[in-house]
């Protein structure tokens, strides 16, 4: 009996030590990334303060951009979001909307609103997607092309658009996303600064819930008062204003949000477009670009630009948010496993040697290890082995440091582009940074474990997501497609 | 101390107390572990306090600044516009002297905004406000700043104010980066394009190796529009020293100023069709598409080589070149190449070229016919959306798909008029 108890205590001790040790190491990495993020943000603020004295609309040197918009069952919002995108300020733009086999009136709405007529010719390209039923052109807007195809999911829809755009760059946009009027002009900055090296750039995604959106433009930035959307504002700020900026500083940005990212068209076509077999196609395509360009020994940059902003509704119900986060977790696992040969591989530079390993340690294992910690604590208490030192250190390293990282993201926001202008909003964000650690964080850990189980079972579903549009105060905000397209 | 032993020791101690005092007992804080906990707590606590105070302070300060500036914005704007359009002297100095900090800040913001949009006499008059605010003087003082952004912002202001410091005019200011070279060249160009064109081209291209930012390409384009000879002569002399990316940028500029290059020596561009970099071959072909009606570069061997590139993109550019020339021989070579073209995107480029050359459907090779139909449909819709009635015949537009047939004709006629050497006139199969 004594031996068994000793064994249990030894297991608890070893696991507890590993958990705390893990957090100590990962937090050092997070601190490094956030510090680098702050340096990068300082440079971005300085960069944004210099506006060369010339007119983009009068210049032959601006690259053309094709906006690619996959849409599945978006009848409620597609007319407005298309109008919003057509109104973006950019000198050379094309909009390719793909109706991905919607079962609602998405196509009919587009036909009616934009006076679409079918192109009386077969597509002369071997497009790597489900069959295209028809291609429509607007007789009002020269820059609008609508593709109607069989349902194949978001990657498939993006590929159809990618093969049909004629522009040098393309911007993948979710149809429920509202881009700042000047957003495209800002997100192409890396391509203007280093035309031959820039291959991709991503902008910031912010939470649109409770913002006032009129005519496809966010007119008033409001902070969700309570509940899940408010906590997600906090998460998005931390992820974009610290995490991605830090990775960018290391030239190791491996994530560009599928809701708002610009890529060099020919390069993504060269790597075969978006992979159909993944549910996080945005993560996967950036990883494949890194791989492809590193193997070619080509000098390149993948940039994060903090100021161009795209606004999106985030889920307001726990069920929908859980579905979204499980899918993200499964997709992350899938992409990491697919590209595991890049881990610790010097051939892939900072991505292979530093960013990807630490990303895996922090984002893949982090929630799982934290979950183990949450199980260990009551177990240790039950068997009378709860050690206060370990408990306090565990609490400080997870909750205490977690609050610090959240507040660091808010500081970056307040110090730089400051979209939440009122000090009251900043105070509320600081409160959310504390609040998320009590209940929400633990719930996300459980969701990640569930995502792991689904991944191990081979679940590749997107899950159905309904949408009602910004003006009606929709409460889900995820994805577009049935195969859904989020 | 080994953390496992420490854990076990305090756990067993806790277990002992658990047995004697009830289930809420925990291990005790003591020894090195206690100090570790304290240390971690102090570090994290300090970080939290520091970031909280900083965040609240920065947010409050920014909001206070913003409120003060917004409160005076309307008044400053109306004061500025009143003085700008006052028939008498604007009296900028007196106005600025009576301003407080926020008003000066707002006036500077508005000056920047208006100088980017206004031209002519209004802009000249407004520049007096820049002097009154001391912006020109401050900017001149920052040209040697260590921080590149400070130098760039200074050059930007001097450009808006059309104020070339002596050191820049005399070539004594040595820009350190491609971006700064572009900013100096822009300052010279905007201030006096006639007087400074050569100097600006020198600044941009003399020691250049690497590509410019888009602002630099735009500046080179403006310079080339004013004086194409300076740019083309520099390119002909130096192209061998440039990186492929810079070379491609210069070719894009040459293409954009097409009419000004009539009569210039373009043999260097022809040579670039053999360049090892695909991007350079593509841009060279597209540039020659604008100037290709000269007999020497339209020999049969040359035409065939242009369609025989390993790269589908370069072949596509070669097809565009042949289609833009549009004479019988070019179209024949184009048609022959398309009968064998294996790449669908190059085939599409070829179909566009055939459409540019006005080749009727029955003469389009069978292999290229679906692409040709597609291109024809796309152009029909382009024209409809632009409210142009294309009639019921084939639509013909410029090679970049943006010009109307009439404009294309007149541009070619204009170029022909400048052409001093032997020409074959407008393309036979043209629009």
**CB-based burial of residue B128 (10 Å sphere; 0-12 exposed, 13-18 middle, 19+ buried)?**
middle
From chain B, the residues in CB contact with A193 under 8 A are: 179, 213-214
Q: Smallest Cα–Cα separation from B304: which of B267, B278, B340, B342?
A: B340
Q: Smallest Cα–Cα separation from B187: which of B175, B211, A57?
A: B175
Contact: A121, B384; criterion CB under 8 Å:
no
A411 belongs to a structural domain: yes
| Any B CB within 8 A of A266 CB | yes
Tokens representing B291 are 């100037």
Residue B415 is predicted with a pLDDT of 29
A472 belongs to a structural domain: no
Q: What is the mean pLDDT of residues B180-190?
A: 94
Q: Which residues pair with A207 in a beta bridge?
A: A312
Return the H-helix or E-strand segment holding A192: helix A189-193
pLDDT in tens, B213-222: 889 999 999 9
Contact: B55, A397; criterion CB under 8 Å:
no
Contact: A123, B374; criterion CB under 8 Å:
yes
Alpha helices (H) in A50-153, listed in sequence order: 78-86, 106-114
Question: Higher confidence at residue B349 or residue A178?
Answer: B349
| Any B CB within 8 A of A192 CB | yes
From chain A, the residues in CB contact with B218 under 8 A are: 54, 59-61
Q: How far is A306 from chain B (nearest CA, A)?
A: 18
CB B8 within 8 A of CB A10: yes
Residue B22 is predicted with a pLDDT of 36
For residues B221 and B250, what is the distance between their CA atoms, to the nearest angstrom? 9
CB A217 within 8 A of CB A84: yes
pLDDT for B119 beyond 70:
yes
pLDDT for B125 beyond 90:
yes
Say how many domains are in chain A: 1
Top residue of B381, B388, B392 to mutate, by most chain A CBs within 10 Å, is: B381
A300 belongs to a structural domain: yes
For residues A470 and A213, what is the distance between their CA atoms, to the nearest angstrom? 7
Tell me the residues of chain A between 4 and 23 that have a Cβ less than 8 Å away from chain B.
9-10, 12-14, 16-17, 20
Q: At what angle do helices A388-395 and A2-49 cross, to 10 degrees?
A: 20
Among B15-29, B163-177, B281-295, the range with the most confident prediction by mean pLDDT is B163-177
Q: How far is A98 from chain B (nearest CA, A)?
A: 17
A95 belongs to a structural domain: no
User: Could you give the dihedral angle defined by the CA atoms of residues A274, A277, A281 and A285, in that order, rounded to the nearest 10 degrees?
Assistant: -50
For residues A200 and B314, what is the distance between their CA atoms, to the nearest angstrom? 23
Q: What is the mean pLDDT of residues B100-116?
A: 95
Contact: A52, B378; criterion CB under 8 Å:
no
pLDDT for B431 beyond 50:
no
pLDDT in tens, A385-424: 777 777 888 888 888 998 999 999 999 989 988 888 889 9
| Any B CB within 8 A of A468 CB | no
β-pairing verdict for A260-264 and A198-207: antiparallel
From chain A, the residues in CB contact with B54 under 8 A are: 411
Closest partner residue to B8 among A9, A121, A418, by Cβ? Answer: A9
Q: Smallest Cα–Cα separation from B214: which of B243, B168, B253, B240?
A: B253
| Any B CB within 8 A of A426 CB | yes
Give CA angle at B242 (B238, B244), nearest 5°: 135
Q: How far is B414 from chain A (nearest CA, A)?
A: 21
Closest partner residue to A53 among B116, B245, B344, by Cβ? Answer: B116
From chain B, the residues in CB contact with A122 under 8 A are: 370, 373-374
For residues A359 and A352, what is the distance between their CA atoms, to the nearest angstrom? 10
Tokens representing A392 are 């306090």
- Local confidence band at B228 (pLDDT 50, 70, 90 cut-offs): confident
From chain B, the residues in CB contact with A53 under 8 A are: 116, 156, 159-160, 186, 190
Residue that has been written with the tokens 């029909």 in this structure: B380
Q: Please report, for residues A60, A414, B322, the alpha-carbon distance to residue B267 in angstroms, rounded to integers and kept in the order given.
A: 24, 57, 17
Residue B329 is predicted with a pLDDT of 86
Top residue of B158, B214, B253 to mutate, by most chain A CBs within 10 Å, is: B214
Q: Smallest Cα–Cα separation from A37: which of A176, A240, A212, A216?
A: A240
Q: What is the ipTM of this complex?
A: 0.83
Contact: A384, B373; criterion CB under 8 Å:
no
Residue B429 is predicted with a pLDDT of 29
Give CA angle at B226 (B221, B229), nearest 5°: 85
Closest partner residue to B213 among A122, A193, A397, by Cβ? Answer: A193
DSSP per residue, B269-307: HHHGGG-SSHHHHHHHHHHHHHHTTBGGGG-HHHHHHHT
For residues B396 and A265, what is the distance between their CA atoms, to the nearest angstrom? 27
Residue A278 is predicted with a pLDDT of 86
Sheet holding A260-264, edge to edge: A116-118, A132-138, A144-149, A93-100, A65-71, A169-173, A260-264, A198-207, A301-312, A178-179
Q: How far is A321 from chain B (nearest CA, A)?
A: 29
Return the H-helix or E-strand segment holding A95: strand A93-100
From chain B, the residues in CB contact with A46 under 8 A are: 147, 149
What residues contact B277, with CB distance under 8 A and at least 6 apart?
B244, B247, B248
Chains A–B, number of C-beta pairs less than 8 Å apart = 221
Q: Which residues pair with A65 in a beta bridge?
A: A93, A169
Q: What is the mean pLDDT of residues B7-31?
A: 43
Q: What are phi and psi of A199, to 5 degrees?
A: -120, -20
Q: How far is A329 from chain B (nearest CA, A)?
A: 29
Q: Smallest Cα–Cα separation from A149: which of A139, A165, A167, A136?
A: A136
pLDDT in tens, A459-483: 777 655 544 455 433 333 333 334 4
Residue of B nearest to A401 (CA): B44
A152 belongs to a structural domain: no
DSSP state of A58: G
pTM metric for this prediction: 0.84
Residue of B nearest to A412 (CA): B55
CB A273 within 8 A of CB A250: no
Top residue of A62, A388, A398, A434 to mutate, by most chain B CBs within 10 Å, is: A388
For residues A368 and A378, what is the distance between their CA atoms, to the nearest angstrom? 17
From chain B, the residues in CB contact with A35 under 8 A are: none
DSSP state of A483: S
From chain B, the residues in CB contact with A415 under 8 A are: 58
| Any B CB within 8 A of A449 CB | no
Contact: A388, B29; criterion CB under 8 Å:
yes
Contact: B10, A139; criterion CB under 8 Å:
no
Q: Which residues pair with A97 in a beta bridge?
A: A69, A146
Residue of A nearest to B376 (CA): A121
CB A300 within 8 A of CB A293: yes
User: Could you give the dihedral angle defined by the CA atoms of residues A166, A172, A175 and A178, in that order, rounded to the nearest 10 degrees?
Assistant: -110
Q: What is the mean pLDDT of residues B186-214?
A: 88
Residue B353 is predicted with a pLDDT of 95
Tokens representing B16 are 């002992």
Closest partner residue to A389 among B29, B182, B386, by Cβ? Answer: B29
Q: What are phi and psi of B266, to 5 degrees?
A: -110, 10
Q: Which residues of chain A have pLDDT under 70?
A: 1-2, 462-486
Residue A218 is predicted with a pLDDT of 85
For residues A361 and A49, what is the distance between their CA atoms, to the nearest angstrom? 36
A392 belongs to a structural domain: yes
A184 belongs to a structural domain: yes
A305 belongs to a structural domain: yes
Residue of A nearest to B367 (CA): A124
Contact: B153, A411; criterion CB under 8 Å:
no
Residue A443 is predicted with a pLDDT of 94
Residue A264 is predicted with a pLDDT of 97
pLDDT in tens, B292-340: 656 556 666 677 777 889 999 999 999 999 999 888 888 999 999 999 9
Q: At what angle do helices B178-191 and B214-226 cross, to 10 degrees?
A: 30
Residue A329 is predicted with a pLDDT of 94
CB atoms within 10 A of CB B121: 8
Tokens representing B235 are 């390119």
Average pLDDT, chain B: 81
Residue B297 is predicted with a pLDDT of 63
Residue of B nearest to A410 (CA): B55
Give CA angle at B43 (B38, B48), nearest 5°: 120
Q: Given CA atoms B182, B187, B188, B193 in this order, what sign does their dihedral have?
A: positive
CB atoms within 10 A of CB A268: 23
β-pairing verdict for A301-312 and A212-214: unpaired
For residues B30 and B11, what is the distance between their CA atoms, to the nearest angstrom? 12
Closest partner residue to B59 among A55, A59, A423, by Cβ? Answer: A423
What residues contact A484, with CB distance under 8 A and at least 6 apart?
A72, A153, A154, A462, A463, A464, A465
| Any B CB within 8 A of A299 CB | no
Q: How far is B427 from chain A (nearest CA, A)?
A: 26
Contact: A387, B26; criterion CB under 8 Å:
yes
What residues contact A345, with CB distance under 8 A and at least 6 apart?
A352, A353
DSSP per residue, B340-384: H---HHHHHHHHHHHHHTT--GGGS-GGGHHHHHHHHHHHHHHHH
CB A183 within 8 A of CB A261: no
Express as a percent the part of chain B with pLDDT over 90.
51
What residues make up the domain containing A400?
A: 1-48+168-459
Q: Smallest Cα–Cα separation from A464: which of A72, A80, A107, A7?
A: A72
Q: Smallest Cα–Cα separation from B399: which of B411, B385, B384?
A: B411
Residue B408 is predicted with a pLDDT of 39
Contact: B4, A391; criterion CB under 8 Å:
no
């Amino acid at each position: 009996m004594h031996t068994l108890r000793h064994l249990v205590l030894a297991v608890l001790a070893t696991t507890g030590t590993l958990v705390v040790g893990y957090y100590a190491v990962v937090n050092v990495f997070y601190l490094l990334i956030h510090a680098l993020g702050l340096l990068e943000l300082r440079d971005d603020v300085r960069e944004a303060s210099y506006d060369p004295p010339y007119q983009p609309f009068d210049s032959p040197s601006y690259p053309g951009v094709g906006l690619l918009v996959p849409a599945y069952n978006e009848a409620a919002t597609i007319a407005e979001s298309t109008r919003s995108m057509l109104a973006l300020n950019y000198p050379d733009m094309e909009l390719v909307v793909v109706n991905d086999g919607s079962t609602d009136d998405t196509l009919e709405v587009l036909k009616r609103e934009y006076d679409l007529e079918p192109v009386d010719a077969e597509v002369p390209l071997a497009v790597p997607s489900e069959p295209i039923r028809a291609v429509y052109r607007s007789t009002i807007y020269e820059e609008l092309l609508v593709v109607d195809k069989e349902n194949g999911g978001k990657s498939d829809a993006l590929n159809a658009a990618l093969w049909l755009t004629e522009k040098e760059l393309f911007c993948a946009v979710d149809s429920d996303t509202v881009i700042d009027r000047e957003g495209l002009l800002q997100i192409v900055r890396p391509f203007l600064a280093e035309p031959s090296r820039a291959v991709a750039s991503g902008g910031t995604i912010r939470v649109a819930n409770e913002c006032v959106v009129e005519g496809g433009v966010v007119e008033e930035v409001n902070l969700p008062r309570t509940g899940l959307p408010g906590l997600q504002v906090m998460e998005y700020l931390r992820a974009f204003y610290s995490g991605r900026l830090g990775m960018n500083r290391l030239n190791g940005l491996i994530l560009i949000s599928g809701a708002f990212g610009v890529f060099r068209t020919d390069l993504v076509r060269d790597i075969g477009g978006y992979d159909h077999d993944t549910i996080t196609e945005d993560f996967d395509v950036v990883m494949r670009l890194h791989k492809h360009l590193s193997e070619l020994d080509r000098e390149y940059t993948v940039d994060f630009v903090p100021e161009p902003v795209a606004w999106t509704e985030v889920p307001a119900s726990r069920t929908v948010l859980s579905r979204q986060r499980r899918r993200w977790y499964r997709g992350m696992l899938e992409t990491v496993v697919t590209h595991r040969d890049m881990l610790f591989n010097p051939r892939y530079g900072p991505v292979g040697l530093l960013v990807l390993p630490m990303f895996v340690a922090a984002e893949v294992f982090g929630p799982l290890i934290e979950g183990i910690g949450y199980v260990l604590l009551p177990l240790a208490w039950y068997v009378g082995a709860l050690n206060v030192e370990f408990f306090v250190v565990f609490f400080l390293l997870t909750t205490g440091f977690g609050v610090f990282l959240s507040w660091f993201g808010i500081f970056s926001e307040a110090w730089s582009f400051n979209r939440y202008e009122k000090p009251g909003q900043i105070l509320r964000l600081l409160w959310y940074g504390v609040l998320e650690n009590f209940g929400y964080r633990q719930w996300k850990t459980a969701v990640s474990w569930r995502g792991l189980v689904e991944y191990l079972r081979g679940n590749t579903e997107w899950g159905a997501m309904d949408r009602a549009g910004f003006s009606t105060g929709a409460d889900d905000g995820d994805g577009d497609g049935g195969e859904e397209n989020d | 101390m080994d953390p496992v032993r420490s854990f076990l020791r305090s756990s067993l101690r806790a277990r002992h107390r658990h047995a004697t005092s009830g289930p809420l007992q925990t291990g005790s804080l003591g020894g090195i572990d206690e100090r570790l906990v304290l240390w971690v707590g102090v570090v994290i606590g300090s970080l939290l306090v520091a970031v909280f105070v900083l965040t609240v302070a920065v947010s409050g300060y920014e909001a206070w600044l913003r409120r003060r500036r917004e409160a005076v914005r309307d008044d400053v704007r109306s004061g500025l516009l009143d003085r700008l359009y006052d028939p008498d002297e604007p009296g900028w100095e007196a106005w600025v002297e009576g301003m407080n900090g926020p008003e000066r800040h707002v006036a500077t913001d508005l000056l920047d905004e208006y100088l980017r949009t206004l031209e002519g006499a209004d802009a000249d008059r407004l520049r007096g406000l820049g002097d009154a605010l001391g912006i020109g003087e401050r900017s001149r003082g920052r040209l040697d700043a260590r921080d590149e952004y400070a130098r760039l912002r200074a050059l930007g202001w001097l450009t808006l104010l059309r104020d070339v410091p002596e050191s820049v005019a005399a070539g004594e200011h040595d820009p350190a980066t491609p971006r700064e070279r572009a900013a100096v060249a822009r300052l010279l160009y905007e201030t006096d394009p006639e007087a400074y064109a050569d100097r600006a081209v020198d600044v941009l291209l003399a020691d250049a190796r690497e590509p410019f930012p888009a602002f630099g390409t735009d500046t080179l384009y403006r310079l080339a529009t004013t004086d194409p000879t300076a740019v083309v002569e520099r390119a002909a002399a130096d192209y061998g020293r440039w990186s492929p990316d810079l070379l491609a940028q210069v070719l894009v500029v040459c293409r954009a100023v097409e009419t000004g290059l009539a009569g210039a020596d373009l043999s260097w561009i022809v040579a670039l069709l053999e360049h090892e970099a695909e991007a350079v071959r593509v841009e060279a072909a597209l540039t020659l598409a604008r100037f290709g009606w000269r007999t020497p570069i339209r020999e049969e061997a040359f035409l065939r080589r242009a369609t025989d590139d390993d790269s589908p993109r370069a072949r596509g550019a070669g097809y565009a070149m042949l289609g833009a020339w549009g004479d019988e021989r070019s179209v024949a070579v184009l048609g022959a190449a398309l009968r064998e073209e294996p790449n669908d995107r190059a085939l599409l480029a070829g179909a566009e070229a055939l459409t540019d050359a006005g080749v009727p459907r029955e003469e389009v090779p069978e292999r290229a016919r679906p692409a040709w139909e597609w291109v024809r449909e796309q152009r029909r819709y382009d024209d409809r959306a632009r409210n142009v009635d294309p009639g019921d015949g084939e639509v013909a537009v410029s090679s970049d798909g943006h010009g109307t047939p009439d404009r294309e004709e007149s541009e070619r006629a204009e170029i022909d008029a400048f052409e001093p050497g032997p020409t074959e006139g407008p393309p036979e199969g043209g629009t």
